[in-house]
Structure 1
């Protein structure tokens, strides 16, 4: 018995079905049909556009966020411009993936794209920081569906042996967005043109929607079943009602509000209120209780006594390999999003680089991340080396790179080593992330693919949201601790509203403030290094004997045959 067969058999034996047919209603009695020909190519193209845009929306703000915050006189709210998007991006990924079981993958991906388009336009039209943050929150809801459903589509479009190839396509698309984001964000930050950061999504997303409407078959991935097929039945009112009853609304709500409160507590503590104050403690405690309640509820809902289908099946907890993949995804997302956001900010604030120059100087990181994902996928596609060894190697590269980056303390110039360290980090993060997606088809059962895809992306974006919140709070607290001794309350308040206020200070104060900012960014990197090391340890959970392989080893043909 092969490892995959053994793993699948263990998964079936470890948890008895709660009903005679444990599959979602949308897929009961139906078989997957893979896409071919023009439908496969056009659907892949349309999905890649969507994946590109929702990931671009994170990195494009990395070099434009400072201009946005300064233009709206809200530097102290900069963290919310980033995290407001990631909170709902995090909270709705598993929800979209699970809802697609009942409302169809095609209709779900179209609906999420329309939400993304609508509120992208709202962000571009925002006149105040509050309006922008609100629109960013709703924009994140649509983006969550675009990302989660994009990956879910790939698992139903092609057979498992093609997962490494399409995993490379997916990872390259995400990495390309990470590459283009800082450059576009920097270019569009000039002369208060930052609104185009959001408005450009509208026509491109509409183009993607049109492609998907025509290329995705109705009923995908079960579109081989027609009204004349004996196993096909059109959904009735009773069937739809039964579907609604199976949705885990409570679990989705606890996950969303837990993410919201945790991010809010981390962002506002040390700024709006002290860390030891009652509001800070209450919000963080409530967030912790919600996460504990979420997992307790998911365990309860996973039992035979409940009709709801859990957002996070409890069998995942007993699947050590899959938990290792999820923890690796979470700890991969944290350094990735933190570096792509705060490295450009350091270049602009400490070294006086323009947004465009900052975007160019971070290319060794974003460009090599794409290369790392492709290299890792190509290596495992040969079937010669198990994915875990490749993941451990790339993870080690990332940890070493972040550790070395903390040694750069100069505020006067950017040493050449800076680019080498960014290259190491890019290879490490890209190569590790590129191999997590194919595990969906090898570490969980087919009936859990939707939940697994949602959880995989959910953990990564949650890591990013928590990372940005932690680093924003770290910088805010550090500035408030170090600057009051040399700056007046008015000067400190002005700098926390807009970093352009640094140029209004006397030269000796400017040098001191820039030095404090540099120390704050170094402190952030030290924290990131700790999380990078933790990711290496999380990957060891994937260890099995025999190891999971994504492809069979290609045999050499005999010369005489």
Structure 2
């Protein structure tokens, strides 16, 4: 008895592609550009908003909700991207409907809700649009990485990784400048509206360059299923809907209690306890769900196959990806905030002063892939080196003065931290195809990115909670409890107090930011230890670059 057509296609996808199926010429170059634009847009959204949050919160009156503006985006980005749920769902949808239309759909969702963010009239509206913007971003990044792996042979992976790392890092580099410039001119809405024209161009490029049957466009034995077959019960049964729901719910509840605990709800309240318990139960249910559906007898394809847990090196890769997302997101958000709230800089000046950090991430991300491809150095050594350098830089960040001054040494700290983070993020892009099975390429691509974004969301929620709780407990001594509540709505209120009181308030803010950095150092130290999980007898090696015939 023959297999269903969807199963035939899946098996076909799992087989190695023939050289003839790879893209060439103008189509390859333009598709590479469109994929790079996807990564650029998705990653610019964190750094571009970082320099704008103070202006946004002042106009929409919600300093205490700033964490949600970023975290709402990151959580849906995460749960759609990889491990969470939606990201894997996007990967599975691309297996059923092909790569082209899910890819275009994700960009369209991202663009539409970017416009919604730009039109938001309240902080709640902005947060909701950011959540849906994150849903689109999740698919953009995971499918972009999957397509990048599939359109070239393995020996070209270093070049692809360098391009993607460069696009990702470039977004981080120019984001603070765009966000700061727009906010300084009272036009913070263009921080989001900027995505619309660039996103439309990206959609047109994808429509023109991405073959409908990709990655099987040159395989005569491949039979593209009809839309009826794609929408059949048998095809849709492959989607792990229960796993996606459990992962999304567990993540959102955990982040909600971390962000609001001690601010709008007490840590010891029934609400906090119930949220923690329900989140814990959903995490356990998610793990059980993935174990259950990994069994061969089920058609449903788990978003996080149980076999991943049996691969120590791959689990180490994912944990490192998660931990590396924490310092990046916290620095691009908190350092510009600190420059504005504590040192009194304009949004644009704050963005300019973050350039060394973002430039070194860009430089290291590209450089490490070029060097790895040329020398064959083992990824585990690069990860250990980058993690150690990152730890040193972040430890120095936690020693910044609390009097509002900006020491020249901070740029050295940015160089160290950015270089270390760039090394880790850059080399991680090349590891999935060398570790997982062919059938798991789409899932692993999503998982790698989702773990990084989930780490950023989790770390940001923890540090935001620490900051809000620190201010709530230290502000009353300086300005009184009622005024402390007002300060969490808009930092502009600080300017209404006498100079002596302002100094006390700003010192509390600076101490809160230093506390966030100390928390981050703990995560960075753990990352150094986790690199050991990748050490094995047969070390992970990157594919050797083919030499052209003389």
TM > 0.5: yes
What SS does structure 1 have at the residue aligned with 2:541?
coil
Question: Alpha-carbon deviations, 1:306-360, whole Å to 9, x = none?
Answer: 2201101111100111111100100000111011100111111111111111101
Alignment correspondent of 1:235: 226
1:189 aligns with 2:180: no
Once the two structures are TM-superposed, the CA of residue 486 in structure 1 deviates from its matched residue by: 2.3
Alignment equivalent of 1:205, drawn from 186, 199, 203: 199
On the 8 A contact 1:88/1:144 being kept in 2, the answer is yes
Alignment correspondent of 1:4: none
Alignment equivalent of 2:309, drawn from 317, 323, 347: 317
On the 8 A contact 2:404/2:507 being kept in 1, the answer is no
Once the two structures are TM-superposed, the CA of residue 554 in structure 1 deviates from its matched residue by: 8.7
Alignment equivalent of 1:49, drawn from 34, 37, 42: 37
Q: TM-score, normalised by structure 1?
A: 0.92
Alignment equivalent of 2:357, drawn from 343, 362, 365: 365
- Provide the C-alpha distance between the structure 1 equivalents of 2:156 and 2:301, rounded to a whole number of angstroms: 29
Alignment equivalent of 1:402, drawn from 389, 394, 398: 394
Alignment correspondent of 1:92: 80
Once the two structures are TM-superposed, the CA of residue 210 in structure 1 deviates from its matched residue by: 0.4
Question: Alpha-carbon deviations, 1:31-51, whole Å to 9, x = none?
Answer: 632111111100010111111
On the 8 A contact 1:104/1:220 being kept in 2, the answer is yes
1:115 aligns with 2:105: no
1:443 aligns with 2:426: no
1:136 aligns with 2:143: no
What SS does structure 1 have at the residue aligned with 2:479?
coil
- Provide the C-alpha distance between the structure 1 equivalents of 2:376 and 2:319, rounded to a whole number of angstroms: 25
Alignment correspondent of 2:244: 252
- Provide the C-alpha distance between the structure 2 equivalents of 1:254 and 1:170, rounded to a whole number of angstroms: 31
Question: Alpha-carbon deviations, 1:414-462, whole Å to 9, x = none?
Answer: 1111110111000000110101111111000111101101111110000
On the 8 A contact 2:6/2:225 being kept in 1, the answer is no
Once the two structures are TM-superposed, the CA of residue 553 in structure 1 deviates from its matched residue by: 8.1
Once the two structures are TM-superposed, the CA of residue 190 in structure 1 deviates from its matched residue by: 2.1
Question: Alpha-carbon deviations, 1:498-526, whole Å to 9, x = none?
Answer: 00111111111100011111111111001
Alignment correspondent of 1:101: 95
- Provide the C-alpha distance between the structure 1 equivalents of 2:9 and 2:329, rounded to a whole number of angstroms: 35
Alignment equivalent of 1:29, drawn from 12, 20, 23: 12
Alignment equivalent of 2:120, drawn from 121, 126, 129: 126
Alignment correspondent of 2:85: none
Deviating above 4 A after TM superposition, structure 1's stretches of 4 or more consecutive aligned residues are 19-25
What SS does structure 2 have at the residue aligned with 1:127?
coil
What SS does structure 1 have at the residue aligned with 2:352?
helix
1:79 aligns with 2:67: yes
Which residues of structure 2 form unaligned runs of 5+?
82-87
Number of residue pairs the alignment of both structures matches: 537
Which residues of structure 1 form unaligned runs of 5+?
1-18
Alignment correspondent of 1:5: none
- Provide the C-alpha distance between the structure 1 equivalents of 2:44 and 2:236, rounded to a whole number of angstroms: 33
- Provide the C-alpha distance between the structure 2 equivalents of 1:145 and 1:345, rounded to a whole number of angstroms: 29
- Provide the C-alpha distance between the structure 2 equivalents of 1:233 and 1:66, rounded to a whole number of angstroms: 50
Alignment correspondent of 2:166: 172
- Provide the C-alpha distance between the structure 1 equivalents of 2:241 and 2:324, rounded to a whole number of angstroms: 28
Once the two structures are TM-superposed, the CA of residue 412 in structure 1 deviates from its matched residue by: 3.8
On the 8 A contact 2:402/2:511 being kept in 1, the answer is no
Once the two structures are TM-superposed, the CA of residue 230 in structure 1 deviates from its matched residue by: 4.5
What SS does structure 2 have at the residue aligned with 1:92?
helix
Once the two structures are TM-superposed, the CA of residue 239 in structure 1 deviates from its matched residue by: 5.5
What SS does structure 2 have at the residue aligned with 1:438?
coil
Once the two structures are TM-superposed, the CA of residue 374 in structure 1 deviates from its matched residue by: 1.5
On the 8 A contact 1:398/1:424 being kept in 2, the answer is yes
What SS does structure 2 have at the residue aligned with 1:546?
coil
Question: Alpha-carbon deviations, 1:73-128, whole Å to 9, x = none?
Answer: 11121111111111211111122122211111110110001111111111111111
On the 8 A contact 1:179/1:366 being kept in 2, the answer is yes
Alignment correspondent of 2:530: 538
Alignment correspondent of 1:147: 141
Give matches, 1:343-354, under 5 Å.
Answer: 343-354=335-346
- Provide the C-alpha distance between the structure 1 equivalents of 2:387 and 2:6, rounded to a whole number of angstroms: 36
Alignment correspondent of 2:50: 62
Alignment correspondent of 2:467: 475
Question: Alpha-carbon deviations, 1:12-64, whole Å to 9, x = none?
Answer: xxxxxxx9899955433356321111111000101111111111111100000
On the 8 A contact 2:35/2:148 being kept in 1, the answer is no
Give matches, 1:391-540, under 5 Å.
Answer: 391-540=383-532
